[in-house]
Amino acid sequence: MTNLVTDFSIDWLEHRDSSKPFMLVVGHKATHREWLPDLQDLGAYDHVNFPTPANFNDTYDNREAARNQDMTIEKTMTLGYDLKVHANYNGWIYNRFTPAQLSAFKGYYEGKISKEFDEKKLAGSALTAWKYQRYLKDYLATANSLDRNIGRLLEYLDRSGLAENTVVVYASDQGFYLGEHGWFDKRFMYEESLRTPFVVRYPGKIRPGTQVKELMCNIDWAPTILDWAGVAAPADMQGRSFMPLLVKGGNKAGWRKGAYYHYYEYPEPHKVSPHFGLRSERYTLIRFYGPADNWELYDLSKDPGQVHNLIGRKGYEKITADLKAELRRQIVEYQDDDALRLFDKG
């Protein structure tokens, strides 16, 4: 993002029709596979030893879909492609580098990281632990440029006098597993990837530090942004504006008590069984189908790491029935016909 914001903004923002709302989308460098940090951030976290999540060594008991995926740090994450250990620098990723950039990149990953790997001669759990540390170091070093350039954007808005009438939204796609369940990537309806960042700065409307605990869905994003622009959402648009939840004394009556989710991309990538489900304030109910064909239930107050599947457990009959009833209601509301056929099959 060298000159995108400053040059483009000066040329366009100052000459637009200020009586009309507009939106500018800035796509920042993503903390996405294969995690290529900016050159100035190489090794930024090499001095840190990151703690492993409590469910890092998940054994996937009573959870067929979790056991049969292909997204573990241990087996799926590769040394060359993902962690740049003796990487193939003739591949398409590195063809975009200038000679100077490639020299600096190789100097770090060949001169330090690959050398360290060769010296350690790792295997088994020690190798998995080393891969996890390298993953986190690369991931967070990549995030440094994201933080830095978001800061530049906000500073520009302040300096140019645009901040007071500009709504700033930071959002991303699904959350990413950072070792939870032994994984990277996302897809599963478990908490770490179900939660999606959405941070707002709206001067004069939303107080700094406001946090909302109500459940939202990504289909609520568009109606909310239209609400800010003073534009009515189309009648056939699913979701609703959550602006009332963000303002002091906002009306929370009638807001949803459960969030619907449906994932259906199979078998590639990562062989995650398709599934749909409901996340309520306390419970997560999931229906897997395809290669896995079963239900899962989690009590988030007792099992935040979601390693104990409670489906069929004595004492949870009414909770399960109530959740299933709400899940079916939302499936019908959102016209997910494929999910409805699967739900009614049992």
Residues of the chain predicted below pLDDT 50: 1-10
Tokens in use for 2? 């060298």
Query: CA of 232: how far to CAs of 202, 206, 226, 250, in Å?
Result: 19, 20, 6, 19
The number of beta carbons lying within 10 Å of the beta carbon of residue 9 is 16
pLDDT tens-place string over residues 207-226: 999 998 899 999 999 999 99
- d(CA 311, CA 303) in angstroms, rounded, equals 13
pLDDT at 104: 97
pLDDT at 210: 92
In terms of Cβ atoms closer than 10 Å to its own Cβ (0-12, 13-18, 19+), residue 41 is middle
pLDDT at 67: 98
- d(CA 42, CA 140) in angstroms, rounded, equals 10
| Chain centroid offset of residue 310 CA | 26
pLDDT at 20: 63
